[in-house]
Amino acid sequence: MQHLTDTELLDLVTQGDEPALRELVERHTGWLLLRLRRRTGDEALAQEALHDAFLTVWRRAGTFRGDGDVGAWLWGIAIRQLVSRLRKRAAPVPVSARVVSALSPTVRSAEDELLVAVEHGSVGDALRALSPELRQVLQATVIDGALDPRGGRTAGDPPGNGEESDADRPVEVEGAAAARRGVVTVGATNQGWHVDQPLWSAYAGGRLDAAAEVSVEAHVASCADCRRAAGATVSPATVEAVWRSVQAEITRPEPPRALRWLRRAGVGESELVLLGAADAVTLPWLTAIGGAVACALVSGLIGWRQEAVFLGLAPLVPMLAVVAAFDATDSLREVGAATPYSKLRLALLRTTAALAVALPVTLLLGLTVPGLHAVAFSWLVPGLALSSGALLLLGWLSPWASGGVLTLGWLTTVSVAVGAGGTGVVTGGVTQALLAVACLPLAGLVAVRATTRTLRGAEG
């Protein structure tokens, strides 16, 4: 990784390459952290902003347009994250009480505080000593990516091609008491001017005068060598801590969007992991919704024995949703077999999640299709019986084989029954009662099997 350029690393990061991000963190943490510290004076806040910045890089590396220096782009992100953090804070950054009191509380935003810190601090004093043109360039550079996401470039500058823009170049501080006295030669040109280790140390310690500080910041946005030199002023442990915090965040699985409302509803985090793994809830929900829509469409559009068709199809929807829920992680059945998690609990969790969508959606669509009101509820008990049957068959068959067997069996039964006596055979009280009663021993068998032997589809 070390031989790759920043742009190449960013390309890899867009593909989800974690080592590439780590390399970027290791390359850029030093100088970014130093600059952030100079902005806030709060170490924790600076590290948090940096953490957020690298997270943003991980998630939005593709937004880098490749028309400028990656370092400047990173600084733009970092300073924005700092602003964002400051917004969330109750207390403002420590700035001169005199200046703060001059600002109305109603207009004192995080950006204001940064501007105040720069413009009314010692840096600002030095800026005012410069020519208006140079001051404009410097201000745009120093106030940084807060104004321009490319960072380190004034709004009117054309997109760069990797070369330094005026704003990126170190400043020629001719005739001004702006250079760091004793370190930067007054009147030095930008040619060959670099921020060495002692200068970084002086910058980190706040021992530079204002113009020298501005020069350092403007220069490092585009000078990889100087950025590297900054790394030595930050301990490896700090860099590692930043990386660990970023890594912890990027590797932490986030539940699918569909599950986040369950979290808000109080469903436990462990259960969300189980439901969210490998589309174990997305797939059954899509199956349920797709199945219910298909069922309603076929029943509504067909002009022949509409109710019988609905009764034949609707009970399959919850059963197939349950099957889909088990299929998602079926390949891990053997691994899960040796784990202590309750197989019955897992089966119930998945079944409940699948039925929670399948039943209301099918019911709603059944009620909205004209001509089905008479059987809009009659499919519920057969649907539950088929779902229980699927859970039992999962002990021996693969999920979709179980679904196939039950689908075939149910359609055959309904065809024969309806052919013999119409839909009343299925919707009649006796049939419904028998199916309801059948659910109980089926559920009992599922429970016994889950606690005594291995249950296919429930990882053991």
Which residues bind to other proteins, rule: CB under 8 A? 16-19, 22, 247-248, 250-253, 268-270, 273-274, 277-279, 328-329, 331-332, 334-342, 346, 451-454, 459-460
The overall longest dimension of the chain from CA atoms, in Å, is 106
The upper half-sphere exposure of residue 295, i.e. CA atoms within 13 Å in the direction of its Cβ, equals 31
Q: Which of 338-342's residues contact partners 24+ apart within 8 Å by CB, and which partners?
A: 338/460, 339/459, 339/460, 341/459, 342/450
- Identify whether the C-beta of residue 49 lies closer than 8 Å to the C-beta of residue 67: no
Task: Give CA–CA dist 193/172, Å, rounded.
Answer: 10
If the CB atoms of residues 278 and 367 are measured against other proteins, the closer one turns out to be 278
If the CB atoms of residues 87 and 453 are measured against other proteins, the closer one turns out to be 453
- Provide the sign of the torsion angle of the four alpha carbons 302, 307, 309, 311, taken in this order: positive
Please state, as a whole number, how many other Cβ atoms lie within 10 Å of the Cβ of residue 237: 8
Q: Provide the minimum distance between the beta carbon of 454 and other proteins in the complex, in angstroms, as a whole number.
A: 6
- Identify whether the C-beta of residue 179 lies closer than 8 Å to the C-beta of residue 215: yes
Token code pair at residue 334: 């053997």
Please state, as a whole number, how many other Cβ atoms lie within 10 Å of the Cβ of residue 314: 27
Task: Give CA–CA dist 226/238, Å, rounded.
Answer: 19
| Residue found under tokens 């989800």 | 16
Q: Provide the minimum distance between the beta carbon of 18 and other proteins in the complex, in angstroms, as a whole number.
A: 5
∠ CA 447-448-450, rounded to 5°: 65
Task: Give CA–CA dist 327/458, Å, rounded.
Answer: 9
- Provide the sign of the torsion angle of the four alpha carbons 413, 418, 423, 429, taken in this order: negative
- Identify whether the C-beta of residue 13 lies closer than 8 Å to the C-beta of residue 58: yes
4 contact partners, CB below 8 Å, separation of at least 6? 12, 20, 23
If the CB atoms of residues 158 and 253 are measured against other proteins, the closer one turns out to be 253
CA distances from 72 to 40, 140, 199, 312 (A): 19, 12, 20, 64
